[in-house]
Amino acid sequence: MAIQWFPGHMTKARRQIEDKLKLIDVAIELLDSRLPFSSRNPMIDDILRDKPRLIILNKADLADPEATRKWLAYFKSEGHVAHPVDAATGTGIKEIPEQVKLLLKDKIDRQIAKGINPRASRALIVGIPNVGKSTLINRMAGKNIAATGDRPGVTKGQQWIKTGGNLELLDTPGILWPKFEDQEVGYRLAVTGAIKEEILNVEDIAFFAVKYLVKDYGASFQERFGIEKLPEDLENPDEIVAVMEAVGRKRGCLISGGRVDLEKASRLLLHDLRAGKLGRFTLETP
Ligand SMILES: Nc1nc2c(ncn2[C@@H]2O[C@H](COP(=O)(O)OP(=O)(O)O)[C@@H](O)[C@H]2O)c(=O)[nH]1
Ligand SMILES: [Mg+2]
């Protein structure tokens, strides 16, 4: 597989974020709880430098809670402040202004000591496409301001969005791009839908998902697709394909001769996974 790095996009995105850093007190870095490592742009430390940062593990509702606990402990051990959120329903949102206040406590205290009445803290949301930036902004704003969907929101003039807490958000998030030289990382991103199926083949993505998930979350496969026997040897491609065929039969993806349409079965499998129909899962541990 070719290296995916989006160098042109990244240079532009980097400049845009660097320009905005002057305007803000804190950066809110959004990661996908199912893949906190792979959804993190490796240049982020270099871009944000010493700007105070709050890490949000978003889509926590879709992730394995035990794995999320491990990731939170990991980020803490690295000296970061991380917080789990489900931006879709709003769980964890109301703590964000408090967390920001704690991060900026020294600065705010210094201002108060000097007799300055601290203005609202200002934040920029950053993250890779589809991680939930627009959803989070809308949630924090309490009304529909930013466009949500698969595409980066339509850029309007720079505006500050009030959030209720003494915190304001830039209305346009900073879009970073995933970087992967490692094809495992590419597949993990693809399983969650963070990169499109044009880059990787849909059957390969489903194959990867089955191989990875059957090991830790096999019961959900058995339950949803009525699979009698899970693969014993995950290194045997035939056994993985057998699971995909079982999925296809269960979901009615048959073609002439009673054969399974593997492409269709793969699409349905990934759809179910992303929609949380196979239960909560996390694709990587710290
Ligand atoms: N289950 C779940 N879905 C989410 C969450 N946050 C965002 N989404 C969904 O993820 C998709 C991408 O969200 P969006 O806000 O457009 O991402 P953006 O590209 O970073 O702005 C949308 O379908 C959202 O509904 C979350 O916390 N949980
Ligand atoms: Mg968006």
What does the pLDDT look like over 191-245, one tens digit per residue?
998 887 777 899 999 999 999 889 889 888 888 888 888 888 989 999 999 999 9
36 in contact with ligand 1, CB cutoff 6 A: no
Mutate to test the pocket of ligand 1, among 135, 140, 169, 170 (most ligand atoms within 8 A of CB): 135
Read off the tokens for 114.
């000097």
Neighbour count for residue 65 (Cβ, 10 Å): 13
For residue 192 and ligand 1, the question of a CB distance below 6 A is answered with no
Residue 16 has pLDDT above 70, yes or no: yes
The CB density around residue 266, as the number of other CB atoms within 10 Å, is 24
pLDDT confidence tier of residue 158, bands split at 50, 70 and 90:
low
Decide whether any atom of ligand 1 lies within 6 Å of the 148 Cβ.
Answer: yes
Beta carbon of 48 within 6 Å of any ligand 1 atom: no
Å from CA of 66 to ligand 1 middle: 22
CA of 274 to the centre of ligand 1 (A): 11
How far, in Å, CA of 106 to CA of 121, rounded? 13
pTM for the predicted model, two decimal places: 0.90
Q: What is the mean pLDDT of the chain?
A: 88
CA separation (Å) from 152 to 62, 130, 156? 22, 8, 12
The whole-number pLDDT of residue 154 equals 42
41: exposed, middle or buried (Cβ count in 10 Å: 0-12, 13-18, 19+) = buried
Taking CA atoms, 170 is separated from 101, 123, 159, 164, in Å, by: 17, 6, 6, 14
Q: Is 87 in the pocket of ligand 1 (CB under 6 A)?
A: yes
Angle at 33 between CA 242 and CA 214, to 5 degrees: 15
The per-residue pLDDT for 192 is 93
pLDDT at position 7: 66
Q: Is pLDDT at 47 greater than 90 in this prediction?
A: yes
- 61 Cβ inside 6 Å of ligand 1: yes
Q: Counting atoms of ligand 1 from 1, which one is nearest the CA of 153? A: 21
Element (H, E) at 167: strand 167-170
